[in-house]
Amino acid sequence: MTTQQTKKQQRRRNRGMTLIEIMVVITILGLIAAAVGVAVIPKLEEAKRDTARLDINSIHNALKLYYTKAGKYPDTATGLKALVDTQNLDKLPVDPWGNEYVYMNEGGKPVIVSYGADGTVGGEGSDQDISSKDLAAAKK
């Protein structure tokens, strides 16, 4: 091999990637990101709904403890603020969408509700309300 051929090969190696090679890599990375996004985003909403269910269950358990100490559940006007005052909570809990949980005392029975992603009554999919009533019925 001559020195001229060796220098040519060295220059080719030092040149780096061509524009086409870079575009191919970027396209492949884009396809991978799209595939992961399609698979993960629906699971994210499902995880938020599961988190809300767990939070509602935890709040319900805290209300049972409150009932044990006070002999009654807080009225609707006092709401979950009673838990903050009596159980050394720093602040009222919020649902995964950043809205406060709604508390109602219906005939001496506590009901905790998250209004879902839209924060309003009703809805479907990720906007659907999650209630402690529904969770209790599902357990039976």
Q: What is the pLDDT of residues 12-45, one digit of tens each?
A: 666 677 889 899 999 999 999 999 888 888 888 8
**Beta-strand runs (E) in the chain:** 102-106, 109-114, 130-131
pLDDT at 8: 67
Q: What is the pLDDT of residues 77-103, one digit of tens each?
A: 988 988 887 776 778 889 999 999 999
Q: What is the DSSP string of 32-62?
A: HHHHHHHHHHHHHHHHHHHHHHHHHHHHHHH
Q: What is the DSSP string of 105-138?
A: EETTEEEEEE-TTTTSS--SGGGS-EEHHHHHHH
Q: Domains in the chain and their CATH numbers?
A: 46-138 (3.30.700.10)
Amino acid at 39: A
